[in-house]
């Protein structure tokens, strides 16, 4: 048995198992867990950067290899890279506690940004600073779910922090007029910050657009647009949604 087959006796936390149950069978490969998650997300494409061993196991901790016949029957291929990729992409990956902590911290940071960009203080109509949102999350004892995307947890987090912080999500419909010399350049900025509902190019080359922007991003959008046009654009809030 080679060095790669003896991993299960190692106590090094940087290696773990990706496990897929399929067709009544269990398939396992030994991976660097952080790299395996990057592979799933498309940030890594080379399996050599992910695998500790290129063996496919029926039971990694016992060192039992999967049957070639069973693998071909279940996966409908004898291409080992395809089989390993399927196990990593579709299987359960046992993550290190350090990775889970980092992932949770990243999700928390992204949740704060989502709430900051989309939410406002209904008393002032202005977005809450990120630190205030973080403090509210601490006070409301918000728990970040490791298994769910940050975007899928926003409403749950909002329910909790609303008990300690007045906040609401709001969209603003705006009308924007950009003079001819900046019209073409401004279009990319509009698409970056807003959803464009309709636009009209005027005879003089100026651009009149009706856009929708998250309330928390309105001032940042106005600042960016004013920098681009040197303050020569015209903006008007049509309505809040």
Per-residue pLDDT of the chain (241 residues; tens, 9 = 90+): 343 443 333 333 467 899 999 999 999 999 988 788 889 888 888 999 999 888 999 999 899 999 999 999 999 999 999 999 999 999 998 777 777 788 889 899 999 999 999 999 999 988 999 999 999 999 999 998 876 788 889 999 999 999 999 999 989 999 999 999 999 999 899 999 999 999 999 999 999 999 999 988 998 999 999 999 999 999 999 988 8
Q: Which CATH architecture has domain 170-240?
A: 2-Layer Sandwich (3.30)
Q: At what angle do helices 80-90 and 68-75 cross, to 10 degrees?
A: 70
Domains in the chain: boundaries: 14-93, 97-168, 170-240
Render the burial of 108-121: b for 16+ CB within 10 Å, e for the rest: bebbbebbbbbbbb
CATH T-level assignment (fold) for domain 14-93: 3.30.1250
pTM of the model: 0.60
Q: Report the alpha-carbon distance of residue 211 to residue 130 in Å, rounded.
A: 25
CATH T-level assignment (fold) for domain 97-168: Arc Repressor Mutant, subunit A (1.10.10)
């Amino acid at each position: 048995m080679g060095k790669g087959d003896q991993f299960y006796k190692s106590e090094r936390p940087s290696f773990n198992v990706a496990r897929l149950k399929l067709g009544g069978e269990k398939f396992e490969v030994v991976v660097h867990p952080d790299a395996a998650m990057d592979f799933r997300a498309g940030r890594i494409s080379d399996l050599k950067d992910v695998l500790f061993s290129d063996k496919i196991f029926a039971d990694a901790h016992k060192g039992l290899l999967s049957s070639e016949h069973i693998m071909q029957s279940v996966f409908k291929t004898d291409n080992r890279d395809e089989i390993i990729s399927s196990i990593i992409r579709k299987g359960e990956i046992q993550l290190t506690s350090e990775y889970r902590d980092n992932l949770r911290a990243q999700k928390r940071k992204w949740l704060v940004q989502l709430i900051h960009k989309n939410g406002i203080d209904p008393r002032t109509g202005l977005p809450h600073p990120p630190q205030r949102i973080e403090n509210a999350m601490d006070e409301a004892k918000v728990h970040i779910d490791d298994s769910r995307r940050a975007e899928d947890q926003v409403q749950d987090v909002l329910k909790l922090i609303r008990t300690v912080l007045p906040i609401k999500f709001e969209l603003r419909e705006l009308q924007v007029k950009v003079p001819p010399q900046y019209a073409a350049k401004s279009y990319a900025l509009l698409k970056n910050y807003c959803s464009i509902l309709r636009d009209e190019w005027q005879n003089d080359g100026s651009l009149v657009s009706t856009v929708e922007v998250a309330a928390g991003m309105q001032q940042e959008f106005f600042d960016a647009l004013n920098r681009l046009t040197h303050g020569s654009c015209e903006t008007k809030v049509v309505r809040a949604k």
